[in-house]
Amino acid sequence: MRDASSPPTKVLMVEDNPGDARLVQVLLAEVGGFDIAWKQDMREAGDWLADNSPDAVLLDLSLPDSHGVATIDAMRRIGPDLPVIVFTGLSDEAVGMAAVKRGCQDYLVKGQGDGQLIARTIAYAVERKSIERERAQSAERMKRVLLQTVKAVSLTLEMRDPYTAGHQRRVAQLATAIGERLGFDPDRLEGLHTGALIHDLGKINVPSDFLSRPGKLSDAAFGVIKSHPDVGAEIVDGIDFPWPVSTMIRQHHERLDGSGYPDGLRGDAIILEARILAVADVVEAISSHRPYRPSLGLDAALKEIQSKSGSHYDPAVVEACLGVIHDNGNAVFRDDHDLPLVT
């Protein structure tokens, strides 16, 4: 039972048939609690939505300026977060399924049901959309906590290894810029950035002396360092990231010709994110100071990836990296808060 003191439910009805529109208005007026705005085509609906926010939309699929499922797509563009109920004279299960797949909350056939049915359908659509929004907000909050934890772990690793402080952050910045140039969407960029921020997580298992030693390491010590991709992947393997972070970490030292480690993977067996990390990692490492040598400079880093493009490194990734460096120079190694697409 609707609370009489609650505000009316605002409904946008997009319907080109005046008779059908009037019938819905009468039926819902009998039920009570609805404020209906009637528009006869998508243009009128778009103009009205520019200044108004309805609780739900009743959408006919046969309009003067739109027809069929394309009408749903048009409504999604102008009101992406609105609960939409398809309201049509066509009783076709395939159309109903197509409507649901496109995000519509329900499907009503004209002439089937009374005002109570229409009212219940609208109420259900509004409630269902509300639950969807709450779930999305909850998931977003959880993702923010997860990313904040990732950044904290990254900073912890830097504190443990001050000689390479900032390495993971700089690799993350360059890798994300490369991914953006390769056409990654914002969500995939966020995943790439996250994996890059902790790509050396496994070094937590490496003695600090090995990491900061200025001289040449023994084969045994270098073998311990080479275990870090495997160790890092194992650490995060149980975390339900929405991206292949564990695989990125495990594969970031793999090379196209199979000469990398830990698994000696070749070609497309290495995911694209890991191929990007491989290039960003070596460019940052060569152009930065290390305990065992001074910085060799950005030019030397670019010569390295160019000389091994196609053998060690993905040619498309190398080309994208060269373009990023050409456009930005050292400025690409900027702080996290300056990154435009990852928050």
State residue 174's pLDDT score. Answer: 96
In a domain, 3, yes or no: no
Which residue, 134, 80, 135, 151, is CA-closest to 343?
A: 151
Question: Does 239 lie in the same domain as 328?
Answer: yes
Question: Does 98 lie in the same domain as 208?
Answer: no
In a domain, 343, yes or no: no
In a domain, 165, yes or no: yes
State residue 341's pLDDT score. Answer: 38
213-217, 278-282, 295-299, range with the lowest pLDDT:
213-217
Residue with tokens 């080109």: 16
In a domain, 291, yes or no: yes
In a domain, 155, yes or no: no
> What's the CATH code of the domain at 257?
1.10.3210.10
Question: Does 181 lie in the same domain as 123?
Answer: no
Question: Does 48 lie in the same domain as 117?
Answer: yes
Question: Does 193 lie in the same domain as 332?
Answer: yes
In a domain, 223, yes or no: yes
* Cβ pair 58, 14 in contact under 8 A: yes
166 versus 193: the higher-pLDDT residue is: 193
Domain boundary among 133, 151, 177: 133
pLDDT 10s digits, 176-227: 999 999 999 999 999 999 999 999 888 887 766 555 555 566 677 667 778 9
State residue 1's pLDDT score. Answer: 45
Partners of 181 in the β-ladder: none
In percent, the amount of the chain with pLDDT more than 70 equals 86
**Residue 275, pLDDT above cutoff 80:** yes
Question: Does 209 lie in the same domain as 92?
Answer: no
Overall domain count for the chain: 2
Question: Does 224 lie in the same domain as 167?
Answer: yes
In a domain, 303, yes or no: yes
State residue 234's pLDDT score. Answer: 92
Domain with 79 in it: 9-133
Question: Does 100 lie in the same domain as 174?
Answer: no
Which residue, 30, 32, 31, 28, is CA-closest to 58?
A: 28
Predicted structure pTM score: 0.62
State residue 260's pLDDT score. Answer: 95
20 versus 131: the higher-pLDDT residue is: 20
In percent, the amount of the chain with pLDDT more than 90 equals 51
State residue 186's pLDDT score. Answer: 94
- As a whole number of angstroms, the distance between CA 325 and CA 330 comes to 7
State residue 343's pLDDT score. Answer: 35
Domain boundary among 82, 116, 133: 133
In a domain, 154, yes or no: no
**Residue 338, pLDDT above cutoff 50:** no
Question: Does 104 lie in the same domain as 221?
Answer: no
Tell me which H or E stretch contains 67: strand 66-67
State residue 146's pLDDT score. Answer: 75
> What's the CATH code of the domain at 49?
3.40.50.2300
pLDDT 10s digits, 257-271: 999 999 999 999 999
CA angle centred on 34, ends 50 and 31, rounded to 5°: 160
96 versus 37: the higher-pLDDT residue is: 37
Choose from 65-69, 203-207, 287-291 the range with maximum mean pLDDT: 65-69
21-36 average pLDDT score: 92
**Residue 133, pLDDT above cutoff 50:** yes
Question: Does 314 lie in the same domain as 178?
Answer: yes
Which residues are the active-site residues?
Answer: 203
Question: Does 112 lie in the same domain as 177?
Answer: no
Choose from 29-38, 110-119, 160-169, 307-316 the range with maximum mean pLDDT: 307-316
* Cβ pair 199, 277 in contact under 8 A: yes
Q: What is the mean pLDDT of the chain?
A: 85
115-136 average pLDDT score: 87
Question: Does 178 lie in the same domain as 288?
Answer: yes
State residue 339's pLDDT score. Answer: 43
Which residue, 300, 299, 243, 305, is CA-closest to 272?
A: 243
Domain boundary among 115, 133, 151: 133
